[in-house]
Amino acid sequence: MKRTLIKETPEHIGKEVVVKGWVDKYRSHGKMVFLDLRDVSGILQVVFLSNLDEKVLNIAKSLAEEYVIEITGKINKRPDNNVKEDMVTGTIEMEALDMNIISTCKPLPIPIDGDGYDITEEKRLKYRYLDLRRKRVNNNIKMRQALSIFIRNYLSERGFFEIETPIMTKSTPEGARDFLVPSRLQKGEFYALPQSPQQYKQLLMIAGFEKYFQLARCFRDEDLRSDRLFELTQMDVEMSFVDQEDIFSLIEPMMIEAAEKVFGKKIKEIPFPRISYDDAMEKYGTDRPDLREEGDELAFCWVIDFPSFERQQKGNLDAVHHPFTAFQDKDLEEFKKMDKFDEEKLLKMKAKQYDLVLNGIEIMGGSIRTHDRDVLKRTFEVLGHTPEGVEEKFGHLLEAFDYGVPPHGGIAAGFDRMMQAFLGEKNIRDVVAFPTNTAGVASVMDAPSKVSDEQLKELGIKVVKEK
């Protein structure tokens, strides 16, 4: 007999079906046994009556939680006083007729019946395949898929092309350290894993696709914390012939619909408030203000009018967003006229940059891009790059700007961080299936790990121990 998913069992009242899954709860009452069976679709109460075949009843009495079993049984209506309205299967139960144990389970190294907040992260991540059985974490991963499907459909229906960009690319300065990949064929040279698809999406605009998106894998070797990962997913969007308002009119309705349809949550204020960077810093002391009045609401806001540059601790200037961000129009004209760079004037210049903040968490950031080769080249020089260095690092992009580049702009969301904000999770690792811990260790696989001397020799690499 073909397997029936638990969520489908209410459609088979009065019929025999086969169900398979894990023993979620187990209760033995004298000659009768009750258990809750769990599969990916839900939970089903199963009853082993005292008049059942003795062999089957004895097998049932030998069960323990998290055993994997197969049960053949009849689906019956529950008595009215035993209906559970909050369950998909709350109106029915299964009367077991036969069963098999598929696999047994040793005592679990961590409990999985609670929310897990009282268990050390180290232990939860070591046994992540068990932690993922936990209802809270399991639901987070399912909600992650629901949001990704919603975003894909939303953007595809509006004429966006989903285009994958390379994982192995060139090392360029983008804020965090790169993860480097040694080349076997070009010894002594390295690929870098992308911190974002920034340059590729701009090249796609030059290629004429006009509307692009992807859920891109990105990698940043930076200090980890409760809202940061080495390996992350980025919802990446870029459009040609747009201004800031076009970006807002795409993203804001998408977030409203996602909140309501995917997460079933209400938003505090629509349209989203717009706050200038200067006002946010003056009023809230942060460019990620939390505008909630109640704990369970979603409070979005746009933060706009960011400075183009900021001074680093070492005294040098850096781009607040990234070097490809366009200046606001009045500042662009002044920037073009500068014979020598006046740092005080540069620090007062504003960018066509915007962030979307949800409950005090920056979930998206974007900008209108510079599409003038000369302005972009001079921006890199402000940041301390020599003309030769600019050519070496970004010559491929500057050359592309010689061949008909449209004005363009976009936005990117840390998909994992966005999930964290929507779900109200304190730790970003609880919305990712197999994250690293705060030390950057993939606990389940015990990575990173040493490799053989033969592998290093093939790559032309020697590991030098610090003295």
Give the ranges where 258-382 is alpha helix by DSSP (H).
Answer: 277-284, 329-337, 343-348, 373-382
> Where does a domain end: 70, 103, 136?
103
- The answer to whether residue 384 is domain-embedded is no
- Predicted local confidence at residue 391, as pLDDT: 86
Region for 264 from its dihedrals, namely left if φ exceeds 0, alpha if ψ lies in -120 to 50, beta otherwise: left
Q: Name the pTM for this structure.
A: 0.93
- Predicted local confidence at residue 339, as pLDDT: 83
283 & 178 share domain: yes
- Predicted local confidence at residue 174, as pLDDT: 64
- The answer to whether residue 343 is domain-embedded is no
> Where does a domain end: 73, 103, 133?
103
167 & 204 share domain: yes
Q: What Rg, from alpha-carbon coordinates, does the chain have? A: 28
- Which residues are within 8 A (CB) of 458 and not within 5 positions of it... i.e. 6 or more apart? 184
C-alpha–C-alpha distance, residues 342 and 154, integer Å: 45
132 & 97 share domain: no
- The answer to whether residue 69 is domain-embedded is yes
- The answer to whether residue 448 is domain-embedded is no
97 & 148 share domain: no
Contact between 123 and 110 under an 8 Å Cβ cutoff? The reply is yes
Output the domain CATH number for residue 61. Answer: 2.40.50.140
238 & 173 share domain: yes
C-alpha–C-alpha distance, residues 323 and 330, integer Å: 18
How many domains does the structure of the chain reveal?
2
- The answer to whether residue 378 is domain-embedded is no
- Domain residue limits at 412: 125-306+351-371+406-431
146 & 220 share domain: yes
178 & 49 share domain: no
150 & 18 share domain: no
Output the domain CATH number for residue 145. Answer: 3.30.930.10
- The answer to whether residue 385 is domain-embedded is no
> Where does a domain end: 103, 135, 168?
103
- Which residues are within 8 A (CB) of 10 and not within 5 positions of it... i.e. 6 or more apart? 75, 88, 89, 91, 92
- The answer to whether residue 290 is domain-embedded is yes
- The answer to whether residue 457 is domain-embedded is no
356 & 417 share domain: yes
- Which residues are within 8 A (CB) of 306 and not within 5 positions of it... i.e. 6 or more apart? 277, 287, 320, 321, 350, 351, 353, 354, 355
359 & 410 share domain: yes
58 & 165 share domain: no
C-alpha–C-alpha distance, residues 328 and 200, integer Å: 24
153 & 253 share domain: yes
CA distances for 440 relative to 154, 226, 231, 434, 455, angstroms: 34, 12, 10, 12, 23
- Predicted local confidence at residue 424, as pLDDT: 94
- Predicted local confidence at residue 393, as pLDDT: 84
- pLDDT digit string (tens) for the chain, length 467 residues: 899 999 999 999 999 999 999 999 999 988 899 999 999 999 999 999 999 999 999 999 999 999 999 999 999 999 889 899 999 999 999 999 999 999 999 999 999 999 999 999 999 999 999 999 999 999 999 999 999 999 999 999 999 999 999 999 999 766 689 999 999 999 999 999 999 999 999 999 999 999 999 999 999 999 988 999 999 999 999 999 999 999 999 999 999 999 999 999 999 999 999 999 999 999 999 999 999 999 789 999 999 999 999 998 887 888 998 889 999 999 999 999 888 888 999 999 999 999 999 999 999 999 999 999 999 989 988 888 888 888 888 889 899 999 999 999 999 999 999 999 999 999 999 999 999 999 999 989 999 999 999 999 999 999 998 87
C-alpha–C-alpha distance, residues 440 and 448, integer Å: 8
